[in-house]
Chains A and B, each alone.
Chain A
Amino acid sequence: MRETGKQLVDVVTGSGVRSVAIVGTAKNVGKTVAMNYLVSELSAQGLTLGLVSSGRDGEAIDAFTGQPKPSVTAPQGAWVVTAEGVLRGSGSGLEIADVLGTQGVFGRLVLGRAAEEVALELVGPRSARELSAIVSKLLELGADMVLVDGALDRMAAASPKVTDAVILATGASLDMDLEAAAQEMGFLVWLLSRPEHPVDAVAALAREAVESDKVCFIDACKDTEQRDTQQHTTYVLRITDHPTVLGIEDLILEQAGDAAAVVVPGAVSQAFLDKARAWAKRREFAVIAGDAVSIFATKRPGVDLYVTQPLKLLAVTVNPVNWLGMSHDPREMVGAIGASLMDVGHPLPVFDVVSGEKSTEGVGGMAMG
């Protein structure tokens, strides 16, 4: 049964973005199925697509479990990036337009155009920086929309430096306990939805701080006569000598003084958040990261947490079947995830693109038709 109302493809086309990362919360949560759904629906609307993976996808057999996997199907006219070493057997349908510099164990990365519909294995570049360059190149070549298939549970493709927006794929492989899976999704969506600091002056300094590639503090200098009013607070950036907080969490925080925030240009570890939380108990103190994929929190940190570049989360897809073949009722799972996102204050449309189930709880303008 096909429901009326907005589908995942409508969410994507209606968002105005040009590149979307499909990232997963675990292995076997249906990233490739969601990607193939979008490829098929978007190309049916006449869009020229660009396809690239942040790792490896579309291989016939799962490299780990040995289970058969769906291949990625590139429609005629789509631009595709993969490695020359995996083109044997499927290369005939691809017209190679360019050979990219990157070389790995599967050979050089090549950029080609599908002369006809072709099933492919996608192999991507090694780093987010290279991935970002490839997304730009695909757009320059004329792709209307670039889809980046994430690998495993890796979030690198979701960085705002790489793609405009993100679809989060999850499912029973995350946790077979429905409540646990819903809770975990609630936390992850909360984390990936971290906003900019609400004070414009702080947010602006934080962006500057990230550019410096050094850990920085933002000191608040309050006007002594009007201590309580925010407009009389001026903020000053204090740059440390440290490019990282890893392994030197205490050393960094000891320098905090009366800072209103610490800006971390690299990884924000759970250890750092734990220590910052203890620090923040006595004063107002925020931790600001470059983007949400640089935050390695495993639980709510108990300290204000912001980013300089927020992600744009479009939707969640759900695969109710886990890698052992055990399944939830699709409606139940979609509903549970939707409710959980609502609970954490970040409602998103949730879809199972296989059964057609969806939840739009709390999402404005998503009423079922």
Chain B
Amino acid sequence: METVMGNGNGQATSGGRAANAPHSDLVLPYGDQRNDGVVQVSFTLPVAAGPLAEEAARQTMKLMGLEDPQVAEATAIGEEFTFFVGYGKLTRAVELSKLRVAAPMWEELDQAAVNQLVQDTLGRPMVVVGAATGSDAHTVGLDAILNYKGFAGNRGLEAYSAFKVVNMGSQVPNEELVAKARELGADAILVSQVVTERNVHLANLTNLVELLEAEGLRDQVVLVVGGPRITHALAIELGYDAGFGPSTRPQDVASYLAQEVSRRMLN
């Protein structure tokens, strides 16, 4: 079904958006003007450069749901591959009012407030164990959150008096992480993982949850996962308490951990 597009705010009333918003409840990508739906895409096809490859590229864009697909650039890369940049129009809009987005259920706290809250709640620093688990060798994200220097001018958890941080680094087997968490009496476990379509990454994340369950530790830790494709929704499905995606700052994680641990003490 093609969604009928109003220009500007033609359909705006149904969504329950703020009254002053000129936005439609139905939104399309912005190319040159509001709701023209124009997008730029880039991809590679395993086809030698030429007319056949370009037609294949146009058909690929059609399969993406793009109307009026145009190839703007076709570059041969190697003998049997072509890289494309194309333009096309999306005509199906996203309805904002139908989206369900999990709003974070905690407030942004500054460093002093986090330190104070953890001190008031636990009377000691919160023990946080972090690791990039399984086959994952990426530690940039984990280091950015945990290490003192932090990320984008926002200091890492090590800079807080509220946290005692143990960073186990990369390629840590889940069993080792669980054993370490038990040994240290961890209050929180931070796992970093770059998940892909390959089920192995998801399976590795759920395996950690199952191990913690089996060891009787699941209730005793705040379990957090972070990575480029992680959302809170996915984290909950995986059995984690929270999930942090790209552009997460250490302060976001610190605020969450402090408030979550305090909430649990109240329950």
Instruction: Please determine whether B241 and A266 come into contact, CB atoms closer than 8 angstroms.
Output: no
Q: Closest residue to A55 on the B side, CB-wise?
A: B237
- In the bound complex, CA of A26 to CA of B206 (Å): 11
* Highest count of chain B CB atoms <10 Å: which of A57, A59, A63, A88: A63
Contact with B along A152-191 (1 / 0, CB 8 A): 1111100100000000000001000000000000000000
Contacts A55-B238, A85-B103 given: A152-B206 contact, CB under 8 Å? yes
Instruction: Please determine whether A152 and B105 come into contact, CB atoms closer than 8 angstroms.
Output: no
Which listed residue, A26, A86, A156, touches B209 by the CB 8 Å rule?
A156
When distances are taken between beta carbons in the complex, the residues of chain A under 8 Å from B202 are 27, 64, 152-153
- In the bound complex, CA of A293 to CA of B209 (Å): 12
Instruction: Please determine whether A128 and B218 come into contact, CB atoms closer than 8 angstroms.
Output: yes
Which listed residue, B210, B232, B239, touches A293 by the CB 8 Å rule?
B210
Which listed residue, B206, B218, B219, B223, touches A153 by the CB 8 Å rule?
B206
Q: At the interface, yes or no: B211 with Cβ under 8 Å from chain A? A: yes
Distance from A133 Cβ to chain B, minimum over Cβ atoms (Å): 11
- In the bound complex, CA of A155 to CA of B105 (Å): 28
Instruction: Please determine whether B199 and A27 come into contact, CB atoms closer than 8 angstroms.
Output: yes
- In the bound complex, CA of A123 to CA of B214 (Å): 22
Binding site for B on A (CB under 8 A): 26-27, 54-57, 59-60, 63-65, 85-86, 88-89, 101-107, 121, 123, 126-130, 151-156, 159, 173, 213, 243-244, 246-248, 265-269, 271, 290, 293-294, 296
Instruction: Please determine whether A103 and B263 come into contact, CB atoms closer than 8 angstroms.
Output: yes
By secondary structure, the A interface counts as loop
When distances are taken between beta carbons in the complex, the residues of chain B under 8 Å from A293 are 210, 213-214
Which listed residue, A26, A102, A152, touches B237 by the CB 8 Å rule?
A152
Instruction: Please determine whether B179 and A246 come into contact, CB atoms closer than 8 angstroms.
Output: yes
Which listed residue, A55, A153, A248, A271, touches B236 by the CB 8 Å rule?
A55
Instruction: Please determine whether A156 and B238 come into contact, CB atoms closer than 8 angstroms.
Output: no
Contact with A along B172-208 (1 / 0, CB 8 A): 0001101110100000000000010101001100110
Interface residues in B13-46 by Cβ distance below 8 A to A read none
- In the bound complex, CA of A293 to CA of B207 (Å): 11
Contacts A104-B236, A105-B105, A267-B211 given: A126-B178 contact, CB under 8 Å? no
List 19 interface pairs A-B (beta carbons < 8 Å), by A numbering. A55-B236, A60-B100, A63-B231, A63-B234, A64-B229, A88-B100, A101-B267, A102-B267, A104-B242, A105-B235, A105-B236, A105-B241, A152-B237, A154-B206, A154-B210, A265-B216, A271-B175, A296-B210, A296-B214
Instruction: Please determine whether A106 and B178 come into contact, CB atoms closer than 8 angstroms.
Output: no
Contacts A63-B237, A89-B98, A106-B105 given: A247-B210 contact, CB under 8 Å? no
Which listed residue, A63, A153, A271, A296, touches B233 by the CB 8 Å rule?
A63
Q: At the interface, yes or no: B102 with Cβ under 8 Å from chain A? A: yes
Instruction: Please determine whether A213 and B234 come into contact, CB atoms closer than 8 angstroms.
Output: no
Instruction: Please determine whether B233 and A56 come into contact, CB atoms closer than 8 angstroms.
Output: yes
Which listed residue, A26, A63, A107, touches B105 by the CB 8 Å rule?
A107
- In the bound complex, CA of A213 to CA of B243 (Å): 31
Q: Closest residue to B176 on the A side, CB-wise?
A: A247
Which listed residue, A106, A127, A265, touches B218 by the CB 8 Å rule?
A127
Instruction: Please determine whether B182 and A243 come into contact, CB atoms closer than 8 angstroms.
Output: yes
Instruction: Please determine whether A267 and B234 come into contact, CB atoms closer than 8 angstroms.
Output: no
Q: At the interface, yes or no: B215 with Cβ under 8 Å from chain A? A: yes
Instruction: Please determine whether B210 and A246 come into contact, CB atoms closer than 8 angstroms.
Output: no
- In the bound complex, CA of A111 to CA of B213 (Å): 24
- In the bound complex, CA of A106 to CA of B176 (Å): 30
Instruction: Please determine whether B233 and A59 come into contact, CB atoms closer than 8 angstroms.
Output: yes
Which listed residue, A88, A102, A128, A244, touches B213 by the CB 8 Å rule?
A128
